[in-house]
Amino acid sequence: LSVRLSSRRRLIEGSSFRIGETCLHADTHRQALVLPVFDISKSGSVICHYLAICCKIIFLGEYLIIVFCDVLKNTYKIFFITLVLIIFGGVIFIFLPKDLAAELIDEDGIVETLQFVLYILGAIICIVYRALKIWDDGLSASFLLTMLALRELDFQVKFTEISITRTKFYFSPDVSITAKILGGLVVLSILSVLIIFAWRNLSILIKGVRNNKTWSIFAFNGLIYIILAMIIDRSLTILDIIGFEDTIKMEFTKTFFEELSELAIPALFLSALITYGVSSLKPQKALNRQH
């Protein structure tokens, strides 16, 4: 017992409580006589490691909140102006003749055609910006905008009855293996371009919004309205889950607001491209005047 106590005393008087140092000082012959001692050094380092991780998470959360507040402060005006225009369009839509209203929101109707035109204009501008070396990722942006334009025309329906972006396409027995492989390759190529494009430009976009750059505010609101259009698209499904029965009038109204929201997306992106080009050409004009 005295040997055990003396061994423990040496451990306590030594550096056993110092973080990062070992707790066992006895040699291999005496370790059998020492009572089990809780390794405070090892547990302390683990605790500090997890505390450091927790602090990083807290700081990251605070940073994200600050960024979100800055972004919200600089984007709400454009967001609400666009929303007011959509609501105003909805009020006008209510008083339109049924035939004209149906023509506006039908597949390949006036609104969808206008969406296609705006996307294609944006794609052309992106190519011009790449040629003028205003934007290095102009070709990637042009490709993505072209894909969105073709989606508005339901271009994939001309080859497949089911959209290649839906999981139903890949599990349907009516779709051939070859079509599934080709559809999957197309979707993967689009996703690859989108991920690379987002990786290279998202931080620049957020920085621009925080610095109150007009082009970035338009572009960020375009992203917001993509999410809003998706929510409107699923709104009747959500109401069915809650217990509301949808009617033809509700379906008609939902479709109109969805189409107007989708029309706002290319309009905001096009505004972003135009304002970005103007802001990029101003320094060049100033340099030309100096020379």
pLDDT tens-digit readout, 95-146: 777 777 777 777 777 888 899 999 999 999 999 999 988 898 999 999 999 9
Say what percent of the chain tops pLDDT 90. 21
Q: What pLDDT is stored for residue 170 in this prediction? A: 77
Predicted confidence band of residue 197 (pLDDT cuts 50, 70, 90) = very high
Of residues 49 and 287, more confidently modeled:
49
Please compute the mean of the pLDDT values over residues 33-46 and round it to a whole number: 51
pLDDT digits (tens, 9 = 90+) for 63-100: 666 655 655 566 677 778 888 888 888 778 777 777 77
In this structure, what token pair is assigned to residue 206? 């957020």
Q: Report DSSP letters for 104-129, one per residue.
A: HHSTTSHHHHHHHHHHHHHHHHHHHH
The pLDDT score that the predictor gives to residue 121 is: 94
| Mean pLDDT estimate for the chain | 74
Whether the CB-CB separation of 254 and 107 falls below 8 Å is answered with no
Per-residue pLDDT at 3 exceeds 70: no
The 10s digit of each residue's pLDDT in 41-59 is 555 566 776 677 777 777 6
Q: In whole angstroms, what is the distance from residue 206 CA to residue 2 CA?
A: 68
Q: What is the pLDDT of residue 209?
A: 87
Name the pTM for this structure.
Answer: 0.69
Residue 18 has pLDDT above 50, yes or no: no
**Residue 231 scores a pLDDT above 80:** yes
Task: Examine the pLDDT at 268 and tell me if it is beyond 90.
Answer: yes
pLDDT of residue 287: 34
pLDDT given at position 90: 75
pLDDT of res. 233: 82
Tell me the average pLDDT across 226-239.
Answer: 83
Q: How far apart are CA 79 and CA 71, in angstroms?
A: 12
Closest CA to 200 of 256, 135, 148: 135
What is the distance between the alpha carbons of residues 139 and 197, in angstroms, rounded to a whole number? Answer: 10
Read off the pLDDT band of 264 (50, 70, 90).
very high
Q: Hunting for tokens 């423990």 — which residue is that? A: 8
What is the length of the chain?
Answer: 291
Q: In the prediction, which pLDDT does 280 show?
A: 79
End-to-end CA distance of the chain: 93
Checking if the pLDDT of 285 tops 50, the result is: no
What per-residue confidence (pLDDT) applies to 257? 84
CA torsion through residues 4, 8, 14, 15, sign: positive
> Over 50: is that where the pLDDT of 24 sits?
no
pLDDT for 112 = 86
How far apart are alpha carbons 257 and 273 in whole angstroms? 25
Q: Please determine, for residue 286, whether its predicted confidence score (pLDDT) is greater than 70.
A: no
